[in-house]
């Protein structure tokens, strides 16, 4: 994911190309006067409109990743809300970091096979989002993937690929249907020993919604928030611009973009097998697992989800990466304001498929990129 405030379009035809052919003096004069009129009206509008303030950009690390919050406000006005955002993010990390044995999620994982674990309101709320994600994606998104992440070497390094028997043993401890939730007492119990919850697939998207809500409450819009590639754009665009511009990264050549999406009032998240992967016995293992087969997904190259809620774009990009276009179509139909860009094909000929509500966003996604 790549964010940038200025909507330059690299895919338009250069003006010079269109000027080839007859170059009469009259044409040059006409062009010059058009340019002068354009320049004049630009200067006129610049004089009438007060200069946009420089954005306040706050960057810090969170969730073993980065956070970048951009606001078009004075630093003094932004400061209290920014402090609240960093505090909320730190608190969420303390709650959900399964690798820290003292985090609430790690304590739940250690205890819930024996007895029901009573959740804090914060953890309970995240788990409700995870239950909804599981139901909406027919199990393609499942926070009980913990044992599978372990068996594929994401918790402790391993030198050999897991055997099918190991994978089947892990699968016996996977499936949100095997977790008993008490909706009155707000407790969680594992019905099978060996289960473990992993909120890594939605924590950043959930956190994004919290941050966007804090900024909206403090009347700090327009705002652009990037939490480790989960991007939220306020409904109000940046000063002097019609929308934010979010780049869709080329999963085959991650330093390049395949296109740009003009976005307001939406969040954007991309999943792919290019970001976090490990290599065992020469085989590349992506960090997204198909929870119903127990195997890492190697399917489509990348999925970008655009949707109003941050938790949904985080969940949907992962789930559609697992389950494919049919799920994208179902989600786009049932969740208003949702759309997807699926990237497949090969490095030389990436293929883009658009699904759902992107048309209203005046999609400028490029045709398959010409490689430099």
CB of 88 to ligand ADP, least distance (A): 19
> What burial class does residue 193 get, using C-beta atoms within 10 Å of its C-beta: 0-12 exposed, 13-18 middle, 19+ buried?
exposed
Token couple for 315: 């969940």
Residue 142 partner contact from ligand ADP, Mg ion, none using kind-dependent CB cut-offs of 5 to 8 Å: ligand ADP
CB of 271 to Mg ion, least distance (A): 5
CB of 47 to Mg ion, least distance (A): 46
User: 320 or 366: whose CB is closer to Mg ion?
Assistant: 320
User: 186 or 204: whose CB is closer to Mg ion?
Assistant: 204
Which residues share a beta bridge with 61?
A: 66
CB of 141 to ligand ADP, least distance (A): 4
Say if CB 143 and CB 176 are below 8 A apart.
yes
User: 11 or 274: whose CB is closer to ligand ADP?
Assistant: 274
Question: Could you say whether residue 234 binds Mg ion (CB under 5 A)?
Answer: no
* Contact string 291-320 vs Mg ion (x = CB under 5 A): -----------------------x--xx--
Residue 357 partner contact from Mg ion, ligand ADP, none using kind-dependent CB cut-offs of 5 to 8 Å: none
Residue 246 partner contact from Mg ion, ligand ADP, none using kind-dependent CB cut-offs of 5 to 8 Å: none
* Contact string 186-225 vs Mg ion (x = CB under 5 A): ---------------x------------------------
Say if CB 217 and CB 80 are below 8 A apart.
no
User: 262 or 296: whose CB is closer to ligand ADP?
Assistant: 296
Question: Which residues in the 6-45 window bind Mg ion by CB under 5 A?
Answer: none
CB of 143 to Mg ion, least distance (A): 12
User: 97 or 234: whose CB is closer to ligand ADP?
Assistant: 97
Measure the CA–CA gap between 365 and 352, rounded to whole angstroms. 9
**Which is nearest to 369 in space by CA: 289, 239, 204, 249?**
249
Which residues in this chain contact ligand ADP in the complex, by CB under 6 A? 141-143, 145, 149, 198, 200-201, 229, 271, 275, 287-289, 291, 314, 317-318, 322
User: 56 or 268: whose CB is closer to Mg ion?
Assistant: 268
User: 201 or 262: whose CB is closer to ligand ADP?
Assistant: 201
CB of 153 to ligand ADP, least distance (A): 12
Q: Angle between the 203-217 and 310-323 helix axes, to the nearest 10 degrees?
A: 160
**Interacting residues of 239 by C-beta distance below 8 A, sequence separation 6+:** 52, 53, 72, 222
Measure the CA–CA gap between 217 and 178, rounded to whole angstroms. 38
- The HSE-up count of residue 124 (CA atoms within 13 Å, CB side) is 13
CB of 278 to Mg ion, least distance (A): 18
CB of 348 to ligand ADP, least distance (A): 24
**Which is nearest to 323 in space by CA: 293, 358, 287?**
293
Q: How many helices (H) and strands (E) does the chain have?
A: 10, 18
Measure the CA–CA gap between 287 and 206, rounded to whole angstroms. 19
59 SS3 class: strand
> What burial class does residue 252 get, using C-beta atoms within 10 Å of its C-beta: 0-12 exposed, 13-18 middle, 19+ buried?
buried
User: 229 or 259: whose CB is closer to ligand ADP?
Assistant: 229
Binding site for Mg ion (CB under 5 A): 201, 271, 314, 317-318
């Amino acid at each position: 994911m790549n964010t940038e405030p200025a909507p330059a379009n690299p895919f338009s035809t250069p003006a010079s190309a269109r000027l080839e052919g007859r170059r009469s003096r009259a044409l040059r004069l006409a062009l010059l006067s058009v340019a002068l009129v354009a320049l004049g009206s630009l200067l006129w509008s610049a004089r009438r409109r007060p200069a946009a303030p420089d954005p306040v950009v706050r960057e810090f690390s969170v969730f073993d990743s980065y956070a970048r919050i951009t606001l078009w406000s004075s630093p003094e006005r932004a400061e209290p809300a920014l402090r609240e955002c960093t505090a909320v993010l730190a608190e969420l990390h303390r709650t959900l970091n399964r690798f820290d044995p003292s985090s609430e999620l790690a304590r739940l994982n250690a205890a819930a096979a024996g007895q029901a674990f009573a959740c804090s309101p914060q953890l309970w709320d995240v788990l409700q989002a995870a239950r909804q994600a599981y139901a909406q994606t027919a199990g393609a998104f499942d926070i009980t993937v913990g044992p599978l992440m372990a068996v594929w070497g994401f918790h402790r390094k391993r030198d050999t690929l897991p055997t099918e028997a190991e994978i089947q043993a892990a699968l016996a401890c996977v499936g949100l249907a095997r977790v008993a939730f008490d909706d009155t007492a707000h407790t969680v119990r594992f019905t099978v020993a060996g289960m473990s919850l992993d909120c890594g697939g939605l924590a950043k998207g959930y956190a994004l919604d919290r941050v966007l809500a804090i900024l909206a409450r403090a009347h700090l819009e327009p705002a652009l928030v990037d939490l480790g590639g989960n991007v939220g754009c306020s409904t109000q665009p940046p000063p002097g611009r019609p929308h934010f511009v979010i780049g869709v990264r080329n999963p085959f050549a991650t330093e390049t973009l395949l296109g740009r999406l003009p976005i307001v009032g939406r969040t954007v998240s991309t999943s792919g097998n290019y970001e976090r992967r490990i290599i065992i016995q020469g085989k590349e293992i992506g960090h997204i697992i198909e929870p119903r087969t127990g195997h890492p997904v190697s399917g489509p190259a990348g999925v970008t989800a655009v949707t109003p809620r941050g938790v949904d774009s985080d969940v949907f990009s992962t789930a559609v990466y697992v389950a494919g276009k049919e799920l994208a179509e179902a989600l786009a139909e049932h969740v208003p304001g949702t759309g997807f860009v699926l990237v497949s094909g090969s490095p030389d000929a990436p293929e883009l498929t658009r699904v759902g509500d992107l048309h209203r966003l005046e999609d400028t996604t490029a045709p398959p990129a010409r490689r430099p």
